[in-house]
Amino acid sequence: MDSFSQYCRQEAETAALAQHLARCLSQLLLEPTAHINIALEGDLGAGKTTFARYLIQGMGYAGKVKSPTYTLCEPYTLETNNGSSLTAHHFDLYRMRSPLEWQEAGFTEYFDMPGFCLIEWPEKAEATLPPFDLRIRLEPGVTDGQPEEQARQIEINADTAQGRALLSLLTF
């Protein structure tokens, strides 16, 4: 399966989807060298950071998950079920001015580490980024032609074999 979509009528449903993805991701990342790249797409306020927060906390992180708006990247160390640890990097590239900034910040090496990367505004660094395994797109909710403040349409696309493996765990 290459794509999956779900209408989340309220934030609690977005949370449940992100937490479910967290469990599937944890399972895939038991493979010690595995690395997964996930793009988070959608306009300002779509819910990208909210989704990332539920996902990272769903992986067992107990602290605060802040938006990396000004830092561009926030790292998290997570414990796995088999006692080892892995690293998550959460990016928000909205304020990045040129792909050069990406290289200078040394972000490229984060894509080899066991764990995963979540990237908001990937279009700001497109040429520099490695391929995404999964792309998650959040759109404002609309019911019967009326905008729904608390709802979001969430579409998940898999672009690699690893992404498809993750999506099949998610939709099993």
Residues at the interface with ligand ADP (CB under 6 A): 8, 10-11, 14, 42, 44-50, 67, 120, 150-152
- Residue 62 binds what, of Mg ion, ligand ADP, none (CB under 5 to 8 Å, by partner type)? none
At which residue do the structure tokens 């797409």 appear? 41
Residues between 130 and 169 that touch Mg ion (CB under 5 A): none
Which has the closest alpha carbon to 118: 39, 48, 35? Answer: 39
For residues 15 and 128, give the distance between their C-alpha atoms in angstroms, rounded to a whole number: 30
> Which one, of 5, 8, 6, 4, lies nearest residue 148 by Cα?
8
Q: 152 contacts which partner out of ligand ADP, Mg ion, none, CB within 5 to 8 A by kind?
A: ligand ADP
Distance between CA 63 and CA 8 in Å, rounded? Answer: 25
Which CB, 68 or 86, lies closer to ligand ADP?
Answer: 68
Q: Which of 49, 57, 157, 162 binds Mg ion (CB under 5 A)?
A: 49
Residue 48 in contact with Mg ion, rule: CB under 5 A: yes
Residue number with CB closer to ligand ADP (41 or 86) = 41
**Residue 86 or 156: which CB sits closer to ligand ADP?**
156
45 interacts with, out of ligand ADP, Mg ion, none, CB within 5 to 8 A per kind:
ligand ADP
C-alpha 35/C-alpha 110 separation (Å) is 10
Query: Shortest approach of ligand ADP to residue 91 CB, angstroms?
Result: 12
3-class SS at 101?
A: helix
Task: With CA atoms as reference, report the closest residue to 110 among 91, 136, 84, 135.
Answer: 91
Q: Contacts with Mg ion in 57-86 (CB under 5 A)?
A: 67
Closest to Mg ion by CB, 74 vs 133, is: 74
